[in-house]
Structure 1
Amino acid sequence: MLNLHKLFLNDDNPISLDKVITPTDDQKRQLQEAKNIIRDHLRKSIRDATVTILGMSHMVSPRFRTQGSWAYRTCIQGAHLPPQEMDWDFGVYLPVTAWEDTSPPRKMAKLYFEFVEHSLAELCRTRPWLLDRTNNRCARVKIASWGHIDLPLYAAPEEKFQHVSERAVMDSAKASANYLRESAGLEDYSESGEMPNDFWVLMDEIHVAKRDGTWQKSDPEQVANWFDDRVTEHTDQLRRVCRYLKAWRDHNWETGGPSSVLLMIIASQSFKPIRGRDDLALESAAQVLAQKLSGEVREVGIDLGEEDFNRLDAARRTQAAEKARELYKAIHSSRHYGQGLIASAIQNMKGQFGERIANEPSLVSVDTAAEVRSVDPVRVAAPAVGATKAG
């Protein structure tokens, strides 16, 4: 039997998949610099517009937060550049002075979305950037052929921001006797407007503005907290396996395919950590994907199971489940090859992940353990194929 672990992870070896898919230092720097420029621009322009355009009773300053794959630490380089791009998900959070029952004023969503994009268009004219208006749930600034900044636009009651600010200061003060002397409150916590984690843990009643002028209740903190808990439970191997699955997805689908959050949730729900064997952990995760991608995927720990995170239609669900089954079979069969078939095992992995798998036989070893650990094969029922719909 073969051990494929080092094809995926090998002590920072630059040709192992874990390192190959990691964003370069220069890419991270460019994304961070662009994020900071956008943040500083929007902080002033939104504040200036809160009364004159958004109709608030007094000026307020937006808050900002890095979220998504950079917060989860699962961001990877795309396999096909273009059309794939890395994104930095940077939430813009607006304290709203007038709250209508359980949501922001209805007319404000469209004004908010349109104003932010107008402000970003002005900024893009001063730089080699492009404002992309195709996303219905966020503004988007393309900063390079390989990357963009996504800006979902959130709102929450101003009273909630103030209450959470006071709570976060007090909670932090318990951990640091010097905290209150060093900070006058979260309004002054950071001149940038990027708030600490203590703030977001307590924040709720958040809504996101959509391009069509509607609000949708949304709490990105729920997914982040849930995933952090799963990584704590299962070790950082879970995070790596999620990155490998994204690399597999990107190789097999130039566009579309299972979303990153969907892959992350399925992998986390039934994860089996196996120390020093990322190949076995990935094989197990692929086996579960093959079972679950054909149906609804819900998670009680995120939203009490209200949302179906599998947004693929019936035909695409069937296709995704079959590709996951192929991934499982490729890893499982390759591990059961003998030493003479190492080259074939590598080619099998290339078939699933592309040329980013190193053609290096020294990364594959023969598993000579007396009792070889393996993922027991299970019989996966063929998914039912329902009616196909567009989307």
Structure 2
Amino acid sequence: MADLNETFVEFNDIIKLSTTRKDELRKSRNAVREDIKDYFNKNRDLHTVKFKGQGSFSMNTSILPLSGEYDVDDGVYIFGKKEDRPTTSTAHSWIVKAVENRTDQNTIDKNTCVRVQYAKKYHIDLPIYYKTTDSNHEFFYDSEDVPELAHKGEGWVESDPYAFKLWFEKAAKDKDQLKRIVRYLKAWTDNKHHLNLPSGIVFTILAVNNYVSNSSDDKAFLETLEAIQKSIDDTRSYWASYVCKRPTINTTENLLDKYSSETRKKNFLDALDGLINSGKQAIELKSKKDACAKWQKHLGDRFPCSTIEEDDKELAKAFTVTDQIRYDNKSA
């Protein structure tokens, strides 16, 4: 059986953000934070502002997408009295004004965030939240004052991405393999972007809820995929439920609802089944190169088959031994 643990670990090193890229993002993020703090110090007497990183960058599960454009999500938390809460559009306008001169690219005001675009193919997304209490603690969070996201289309919506980060960090503590599996899943969806597969948060939750550890990453990845399939693929298992609920705020929301149309659901579940079938075949193959080709079909050309070194004599010997066993068994 081919063991591709080293190949998967090498793949992880290829797709994850390098230290240089992370440092570049942090530097840009911190500069944006200073712009916003300066704006509030000069223009907002009734409000203060703080920041908390969120998303895959803060959880260390980011990958470098095929498009080459990577990002960081940085939550902007505005503190003030309930009666001084602005409209969501006004809150957005404050942040736009604060960062509009940070780069020579156009600042984009989206429904759920303000985006600062950099010419070096990355951007910083700034979702905006409002809170009425500030404990002056590092985390400034409490169960009775849930942050509200400034959504320009839906108004102020309860949302606590930092709680999700804490949930993930607790689940992934001392489990580097789990973080690698999340990256493998993201790389797979990136390679299959034309299928419009579920988002990274969905696969992060599914990976945590169905993680199966193994000393080899290829086996852990396959066994986790199989566990995910058993939990959500109701077209193959009558006990499965096509559901992925948030573990934190709004725990009743099924994040797979937006992928539940007949076409999108079929595309997702068929793609998952195809990945699993190829993984099973790869695990059983004796040739590492042949096994690698099975995974590469789904994970993309970045999956490093060209670096595999195989002892042709040992491989030939393995085939000979298997054939002899098969022959002996048949004779008996």
Question: Does 1 or 2 have the higher relative contact order (CA < 8 Å, sep 6+)?
Answer: 1
Range moving further from structure 2, 354-363 or 278-287: 354-363
After superposition, the C-alpha distances for 1:185-240 in whole angstroms (9 at most, x for unaligned) are xxxxxxxxxxx3x44477842101012361100111221121112113x7221111
- Counterpart of 1:353? 299
Secondary structure class of the residue paired with 2:53: strand
Q: Say yes or no: does 1:94 pair with 2:34.
A: no
| Contact 2:77–2:129 under 8 Å retained in 1 | yes
- Counterpart of 1:331? 279
Q: Percent identity?
A: 21
- Counterpart of 1:172? none
| Contact 1:293–1:318 under 8 Å retained in 2 | no
Deviation at 1:136, TM superposition (A): 1.7
- Counterpart of 1:253? 193
Secondary structure class of the residue paired with 1:136: coil
Specify which of 50, 55, 59 is matched with residue 68 of structure 1. Answer: 55
- Counterpart of 1:32? 26
Distance 1:260 1:21 in 2: 15
Deviation at 1:119, TM superposition (A): 3.0
- Counterpart of 1:6? 6
Deviation at 1:145, TM superposition (A): 4.9
- Counterpart of 1:235? 175
Specify which of 103, 113, 116 is matched with residue 138 of structure 1. Answer: 113
Q: Say yes or no: does 1:272 pair with 2:220.
A: no
Specify which of 91, 108, 116 is matched with residue 95 of structure 2. Answer: 116
Distance 1:308 1:131 in 2: 32
Deviation at 1:96, TM superposition (A): 1.6
Range moving further from structure 2, 69-78 or 221-230: 221-230
| Contact 2:73–2:126 under 8 Å retained in 1 | yes
| Contact 1:270–1:288 under 8 Å retained in 2 | yes
TM-score (norm 2): 0.83
Aligned residues: 303
TM-score (norm 1): 0.71
Range moving further from structure 2, 237-246 or 206-215: 206-215
Which sections of structure 1, spanning at least 5 residues, go unmatched? 10-15, 51-57, 169-195, 369-391
Q: Say yes or no: does 1:212 pair with 2:153.
A: yes
**Aligned partner letter, 2:153:** D
Which sections of structure 2, spanning at least 5 residues, go unmatched? 235-241, 319-332
Distance 1:293 1:25 in 2: 37
Change in CA separation of 1:202 and 1:297 when aligned onto 2, cut-off 3 Å? closer
| Contact 2:195–2:264 under 8 Å retained in 1 | no
Deviation at 1:241, TM superposition (A): 0.5
RMSD: 2.6
Secondary structure class of the residue paired with 1:318: helix
**Aligned partner letter, 1:115:** W
Secondary structure class of the residue paired with 2:116: strand
Secondary structure class of the residue paired with 2:282: helix
Change in CA separation of 1:213 and 1:329 when aligned onto 2, cut-off 3 Å? closer
Change in CA separation of 1:255 and 1:318 when aligned onto 2, cut-off 3 Å? closer
**Aligned partner letter, 1:238:** L
Secondary structure class of the residue paired with 1:140: strand
Distance 2:223 2:18 in 1: 29
